[in-house]
Amino acid sequence: MSTPAFDVLGIGLNATDTLLLVEEFPPYAGKAPFHRELLSPGGQVATAIVACARLGLRARYIGTIGDDHRGNIQRESLEGTGIDTSGLIVRSGCPNQTAYIVIDQRTGERTVFWQRAECLRLHPAELRAEDIANCRLLHIDGYDIEAAAYAASLARARGVPVSLDVDTVYPGFDSVLQHVDYLVAGSNWPAKWTGETDPFAALSRLRRQYGMRVAAMTLGHRGALALSSEGWTYSAAFEVACSDTTGAGDVFHGAFCYAVLRGFDMQAALDFSNAAAAINCTAIGARGCVPMLSDVDALLAKASAGRARRVSAPDIGERVSSEPLARATEA
């Protein structure tokens, strides 16, 4: 069998963002001046694949872009990071996905308003089985659900593991979940999908129902939680001077893909991914400071030496450390 040409293939969303920096987010129906306006490339899967490339993986991206100025910005960003973009599908006369992101400079937290034209929808017929077979890992989101399900099913049939980033509940999403090996969901998604408000119960149910290798969720500034064959794993977040949280979750996913392909155990994988996400928060934009491997290793080393603080969620950490509870919840 020939060696796949790419370590990771991303199929899913990209966007070009307009960032507005304000001193603080105004109250409802309020008014506030903004201090700076920036055009910045982003998008869930596209940014994750940029993170993969920055960490040293052979990366490819397949998705649709508009033929406007924003589409050009996205393409130039991907190509400038060394990603294979031969699978980009340019929609003539169609605007690229866009987002307006208001960043509160006091905290770095952001509020997002986005739009994606229907003409950008990716269709299953536009995907080729040979492209998916030619990678070691497939990373997807769930927005174009039929294309995502088709890509994931092709990967499953060819023994290619599938990583999923999802933060929105889509009707009929079982068609995607049944083919997923590594789920890393947004903090609210497991409860919304399963109806289980307890994150341990929600992740346990997801892993049991769909037979995933890993069912995990990010917890924002509190870190990340995962259930795998190793049991429960919790990783505290890293404290940094946060300028903008935009793209932090996307970079986490890219770093997690790297960790999976490098064979990290679950604790190392979550720590590595949290560190990468934290570094990206130190600059403005979804790809403001996507780290290289040396950057992540340096932050991990500082934390290990006690020179970088980590922010934990005591309630989560205590439950993970309770082995009887962990076993009972996983059963």
pLDDT in the model for residue 325: 52
Q: Which has the minimum average pLDDT: 21-30, 59-68, 131-140?
A: 21-30
Q: What is the mean pLDDT of residues 203-223?
A: 96
Neighbours of 130 (CB within 10 A): 8
Q: pLDDT digits over 26-78, tens only?
A: 999 999 999 899 999 999 999 999 999 999 999 999 999 999 999 999 999 99
Q: Return the percentage of the chain with pLDDT > 70, whole number.
A: 97
Can you tell me the distance from the alpha carbon of 320 to that of 149, in angstroms, rounded to the nearest whole number? 32
Q: pLDDT digits over 265-289, tens only?
A: 999 999 999 999 999 999 999 999 9
Residues 6+ apart with CB under 8 A from 42: 14, 15, 16, 17, 99, 246, 247, 250, 285, 286, 287
pLDDT band at 2 (very low <50, low <70, confident <90, very high): confident
Superfamily of domain 6-330: Ribokinase (3.40.1190.20)
For 180-208, the three-class secondary structure string (H helix, E strand, C coil) is CCEEEECCCHHHHHHCCCCHHHHHHHHHH
Name the average pLDDT for the chain. 95
- Phi, psi for residue 216 in degrees, rounded to 5: -135, 165
pLDDT in the model for residue 321: 86
Whole-prediction pTM: 0.94
Positive or negative CA dihedral for 114, 98, 60, 242?
A: negative
Partners of 110 in the beta sheet?
A: 103
Task: Return the amino acid letter for 133.
Answer: A
pLDDT in the model for residue 16: 97
15-22 and 34-42 strand pairing:
antiparallel
Can you tell me the distance from the alpha carbon of 134 to that of 136, in angstroms, rounded to the nearest whole number? 7
pLDDT at 324 over 60: no
pLDDT band at 119 (very low <50, low <70, confident <90, very high): very high
Can you tell me the distance from the alpha carbon of 190 to that of 169, in angstroms, rounded to the nearest whole number? 9
pLDDT at 101 over 80: yes
pLDDT at 331 over 70: no
Q: pLDDT digits over 227-238, tens only?
A: 999 999 999 999
pLDDT in the model for residue 322: 81
Q: What is the mean pLDDT of residues 137-159?
A: 97
Task: Give the DSSP H/E element, type plus range, for residue 209.
Answer: helix 199-210
Task: Return the amino acid letter for 290.
Answer: V
Nearest to 18 by CA among 91, 95, 93, 81: 95
Q: What is the mean pLDDT of residues 97-112?
A: 92
Residues 6+ apart with CB under 8 A from 25: 32, 102, 104, 109, 111
Can you tell me the distance from the alpha carbon of 16 to that of 69, in angstroms, rounded to the nearest whole number? 9
Q: What is the mean pLDDT of residues 80-102?
A: 96
Can you tell me the distance from the alpha carbon of 166 to that of 208, in angstroms, rounded to the nearest whole number? 18
pLDDT at 263 over 80: yes
Domain residue spans of the chain: 6-330
pLDDT in the model for residue 328: 46
Q: pLDDT digits over 291-322, tens only?
A: 999 999 999 999 999 999 999 888 998 999 88
